[in-house]
Structure 1
Amino acid sequence: MTFLIFPDHATGSQLAESVDRPPGTQVLSHPVSGRPWLIGQLPAKALTVHRGRDRCLVTVGVTEAPADAQHELDGLSAPAAADALARRFPGDRHVLLSMDGLVRAQGTLSSTRQLFVVRYDGVDIAADDPEPLIRLTGASVDDDAIPARLLAPWTPWPFTDQVMWRGIEAVPMGERLDWDRSGRARRTQWWSPPEPELPLEQAATATRAALAEAIRVRAAHTDLSADLSGGLDSTSLSFLAGRHQRGMILTSWEAANPADEDQFWAARAAQQLSGMHQVMSLQDAPAWFSDLDGHGELEGPFAWIRTRGKLRYQAELLASRGSKLHLTGHGGDELYTATQLFLPALMDRPLRALPYIKAYRAVHRWPWRETVTELNRSESFATGLRRTASLLDKPIEQYLRKPEFGWGIGYRMPIWSTADGLEAARRQLHRTAGEDPQPMSPHRWVHALLQDVRLCGDTIRRVSRWTERSGVAWHAPMIDDAVVEAACSVSAWDVAMPDRYKPLLAEAMRGAVPDEFRLRRTKSEYSADVYAGVRRMRPQLLELCEDLELARRGLVDADRLRDLVIRPPQSSFAFIPLISTLAVESWLRTVSSRPAQNSAQKNEQLTRQGGLG
């Protein structure tokens, strides 16, 4: 599902006429003027339209209109007054409004419903996918954005919001687009995280209500299936969804490690659910790293490149069994896992914080002196970026062995980076630090949570774009707006202790999920699957090393990467940078194979006009 948004302006109308319209394309017009507003693939079931005399509100995605939506729309004085109404549409959706020549558009906090915008020919055009904007404007790759995408274990914010194509911008978390009658848009903030001060019981009540509503809306929309990995996240969603649809397909993957606990817990949960439990065999499914083709997707590196082949296999299986929308528990780790980044939030009461500090020291075996030194470090977000730049060449395993309480986990460049690649990444971090970006929250753990939610949402959006080719949308209800807001609201004191596993979710699921699953304190890990995938795909990975785009750009040493494939390290942590490297390489190959376009004049126009004010 891809669509373009045009302002209610004569130039926007002219640009709309130049857009390709393959079979199935729909066009929605602005009220009163009749100019093109939305153009794209808009399935009827994913589109809700409310019309008034001089206004029109549209939702695209999976949602449900509040009962008084039409009354609220009729009473609006201006699009800017629609914040309260827009927030009342649950689920996963864009909310778009055109009213008397003014336009507004917003997506979701997580970016599962994202907006991209470009200023072209004097007006601002938006889309839910950058690719139609790339085609419309002839945008070129932003080479300066590439090095940070190699960072491991994943790309940190704000680089995740940096579009890989010049002139195109992603709308940041909690902001929307507002167009005036000149056809130009400005970004307006509509959300900021709440203060994390609710006691556990209150935050759990809000979480339970938000998750139940997220599932209810999707169950009312279409036929569901769900992951049932055996972990708390997917098990919670499966029990919630089972209240609405009996006989769902519940999918689990056979693990490479025969001692994997999650398989046992998934089978046990399936016995208490009414669905059909489908365990997908490793022998029948593609291996990790089996599908490194970019498949023509231009947006940017795909974070789950390691399992793209498995996703296609799973989507085709689910489609053959009648599923239209698949629920995944992704987002649960991001929202509910206690990490050391909670500790700085507790240091205003050091004596009360002491048991928490001791617990994390016991888990990670940190020396006391380094722990105290790091806890006393106070730094701005920009200073944190500069410090990260100084640590990029340290071993990736170090970020767990040494206490780091900054604005995120310890980011590292791959050991196969060249000196030029390492220096380019450092320059990118220092350049961004010089712009003095402000964190998404003044609380480090909340900022890190929102960063990870944003990365998860971006990935789910792109996974769904991929699986929808097989007929099944991919959804992560745990990162719906209301669920994210509830997770940000809890007091750190109630969820920071590492001896409790996901306490907010466990409390929220009291009475909805049997206690044997809700209070489980173990979790499987999947390093065996990584080693098995590298062994199985070694010939293809070695062939890839023979002709690396990243090597041609001087960012990666192909020989050192080849050595990792031939002689896998004892620690699976060393494989983490491989995933980001393969993601960037796959994307660069897609870009390099793209047919040449006569875009010099268009690029000059983009450079001259710049971005949003």
Structure 2
Amino acid sequence: MCGIAGFLGDFPAGLPAAMGLAIDHRGPDDSGVFTDADGRLALVHRRLAIVDLSSTGHQPMADSTGRFVICYNGELYNAPVLRSELTRRGAVFRGTSDTEVLLELLARDTVDALKRLNGIFAFALWDRRDQTLTLVRDGVGVKPLYISRTPGGLAFASEIKALLPVPGLDRTIDQAAAGAYLTYLYSPGERTMFAAVRKLAPGTWLTIDRSGKESRGSFYRLPSPDPRPLCDGDIVAGTRRHLETAVERQMLADVEVGAFLSGGVDSGGIVAIARKLSPRPMPCFTARYEGLGHDDEIVADLPFARMLAKHFGVPLHEVSIDDRIVDDFPQLIADLDEPQADPAALLSSHISALAASFGIKVLLSGAGGDDIFTGYRRHLAARLDPLVGLVPQVIRDPLARAAARRGGSLSPQARRIAKLLSTIGGGGDARTIARFEWLSAPSAAQLLARPVAAELIRGPMQAALDALETHDAVERTLALDQRFFLADHNLNYTDKTGMAHGVEIRVPLLDPDLIAWAATLPARGKLRGRTSKWALRKAIAPDLPPEILTRPKAGFGVPLRGWLRGRMRPMLEELTTPQVIEGRGLFDRDAVAKLRDDTLSGRIDGSYSLLAVMAIELWARRFIDAPVADTTRLTQQGR
């Protein structure tokens, strides 16, 4: 796993060094730069050596003919199978890296090869003969890739911070993206906070030539629901088989592999299978809360994590978490590249740092189980959607508006009921999208100094729903989970928090074959009664204690409401003063002040919306204000 960057166009000679320096945390083991003859093409690489630790894995790498050069960030899990096939076709390999396998496959089959890849990746391929640059991102979006079209040409990078040194980069804020971060805590689709920087969509490729002419295509689409008449035995056996294959594939490494272990079904199931595959006990990592007191947002994961570690006979390393973690929030936003206001990312960062301190470069994560097999409260709500639709809209709409004004002093259960009621207005698609919103899109738009239409904020999700053939509310919700909540939120912070510490985080539950299998399951294989992830639970039941299988879902919880009234309050007050808000010019001063005062007084529960405002201001300080002088100096070097 690595970091990549580069460009095609007229840029200063010192730019590759500046771009590489910005992402050196992603690859502490090696670095390399390739520039074509006239310097208009550059590929920059930072290497985290996991497969083939020798110099034969050095990048950028040229194929055996010298025509193609690749700059690759990823892991190709079916590389051994492809290597055998390529050997039969006459390929001769210099080393054992998956990079070389991918490169030789692309040299023979070009973009037709992309459909055959099982892995997580983002890469740039330079064709020296045709003078074309092709950028590719994996089908689920596990690995990030950002692109920007500037006056000098096209630039790309694993992280936005590597684009900051690019001369002529337009730093205008995308108002619709700002509204999205306030609404969802992330930006669904291709938009970022910079109007001039876009995410390459998962499962797509983009080719550009020296004249600037572009072509693009798609090689992977998330599978549409295709329920089959499977009996329960086949559902369980098939899920187990695909899960075992996925975990075995993703343990491919020449370094020691560890795992997150939260004490839940997803991470517990992965460790259970990995433990059977490896003779050496897998080191596991979890969080231990200290000094936080009683808080309804904290679920006691640790006893279950310890239970599982003892059950599997694996070492469990615990990182201590207390309210001092909030001091890391500004650095977290810098690491994430995007103003994602989810404090769960802080825990992922600290666990990754702990793993790195033990020399672990690879962690298996349970991310994705809820998004493929169901697991969130919105899936239970979606199942009730047909009944909700029977209630006249003239009754539902006022009830939804009243629930949206819920008080911050409500009990946890009452808050959840209020949240559910706040999403029942409008048509079916409106209800589906509303379940992803922390703050309604219209309310988020009103926080901005220059409001944008709510339809623009909701546009990517609505377009995705319009393209779906299924009318099942649960499946439509899962489709948005997989396309947006995963790629643009969970996987972004998973990648960035791991790579900030030189740790690759792998996601076996998002193996393409496992995703395809889940799409074939009938409804009862996912959500049965109030039991979510039915197939997954049954598939791993023989390996887990019953207490794990029956415990309620718990994510990475943090006491955000208490933090904003306690240790985080000085940061909140400083970032939301009238002077700061007016100086930035992005938010409406009075609207932010009211949100802050009503939240702190308990009249409303706007904690996550406030955190989003804070995250955006912190992001702007790091990505708009501070870097200008530094990156100008770096790009001058080598002129």
Match of 2:26 in 1: none
CA contact (8 A) 1:139 1:599 kept: no
Match of 1:409 in 2: 434
Counterpart CA distance in 2 for 1:242 and 1:328 is 14
Match of 2:359 in 1: 322
Cα deviation, residue 181, structure 1? 6.3
Q: Deviations over 1:452-475 (max 9, x none)?
A: 334334444444434434343334
CA contact (8 A) 1:197 1:489 kept: yes
Counterpart CA distance in 2 for 1:357 and 1:434 is 24
1:188 aligns with 2:217: yes
- Identity among equivalent positions (%) equals 18
Q: Which amino acid aligns with 1:400?
A: L
Q: Deviations over 1:317-353 (max 9, x none)?
A: 22222322233323222222256877999xxxxxxxx
Cα deviation, residue 38, structure 1? 2.2
Match of 1:377 in 2: none
Q: Deviations over 1:162-219 (max 9, x none)?
A: 0222332222232212335645332201122323124466676665455444433443
Aligned residue runs from structure 1 range 37-52, under 5 A = 38-45=43-50, 51-52=63-64
Match of 1:236 among 246, 269, 274: 269
Counterpart CA distance in 1 for 2:549 and 2:119 is 27
Aligned residue runs from structure 1 range 530-541, under 5 A = 530-534=560-564, 535-541=566-572
Number of residue-to-residue matches in the alignment? 559
Greater alpha carbon shift after TM alignment, 515-524 vs 167-176: 515-524
Counterpart CA distance in 1 for 2:7 and 2:454 is 33
Match of 2:535 among 504, 507, 521: 504
Match of 1:607 in 2: none
Cα deviation, residue 266, structure 1? 2.1
1:20 aligns with 2:17: yes
Q: Supply the RMSD in Å over aligned alpha carbons.
A: 4.6
Match of 2:391 in 1: 369
CA contact (8 A) 1:115 1:128 kept: yes
- Please give the secondary structure, in 2, of the residue aligned with 1:151: helix
- Please give the secondary structure, in 1, of the residue aligned with 2:329: coil
Q: Deviations over 1:387-445 (max 9, x none)?
A: 9xx97994376440253642423435379979852685552525875998454634464
Match of 1:585 in 2: 617
Q: Which amino acid aligns with 1:238?
A: V
CA contact (8 A) 1:152 1:576 kept: no
Match of 1:269 among 308, 316, 319: 308
Counterpart CA distance in 2 for 1:15 and 1:506 is 55
- Please give the secondary structure, in 2, of the residue aligned with 1:136: coil
Counterpart CA distance in 1 for 2:509 and 2:558 is 27
- Please give the secondary structure, in 2, of the residue aligned with 1:522: coil
Structure 2 length-normalised TM: 0.72
Aligned residue runs from structure 1 range 434-445, under 5 A = 437-439=463-465, 441-443=468-470, 445=474
CA contact (8 A) 1:324 1:473 kept: yes
Structure 1 length-normalised TM: 0.75
Cα deviation, residue 27, structure 1? 2.1
| Structure 2 unmatched runs, 5+ | 22-29, 52-56, 92-103, 407-414, 633-639
In the superposition, relative to structure 1, how do residues 227 and 587 fare at CA in structure 2: closer, same or farther (>3 Å)? Answer: same
In the superposition, relative to structure 1, how do residues 515 and 331 fare at CA in structure 2: closer, same or farther (>3 Å)? Answer: same
Cα deviation, residue 246, structure 1? 1.0
Cα deviation, residue 120, structure 1? 3.8
CA contact (8 A) 1:114 1:128 kept: yes
CA contact (8 A) 1:6 1:125 kept: yes
Q: Which amino acid aligns with 2:193?
A: M
| Structure 1 unmatched runs, 5+ | 346-355, 375-386, 601-613
Cα deviation, residue 107, structure 1? 1.5
Match of 1:63 in 2: 76
Cα deviation, residue 33, structure 1? 10
Counterpart CA distance in 2 for 1:343 and 1:561 is 30
Q: Deviations over 1:511-567 (max 9, x none)?
A: 5x3362674252347777334433343344334333674454233534334425643
- Please give the secondary structure, in 2, of the residue aligned with 1:455: helix
CA contact (8 A) 1:204 1:507 kept: yes
In the superposition, relative to structure 1, how do residues 59 and 181 fare at CA in structure 2: closer, same or farther (>3 Å)? Answer: same
Q: Deviations over 1:283-309 (max 9, x none)?
A: 4x73457523566458321343x2455
Q: Which amino acid aligns with 1:41?
A: R
Counterpart CA distance in 2 for 1:392 and 1:3 is 48
Greater alpha carbon shift after TM alignment, 49-58 vs 269-278: 49-58
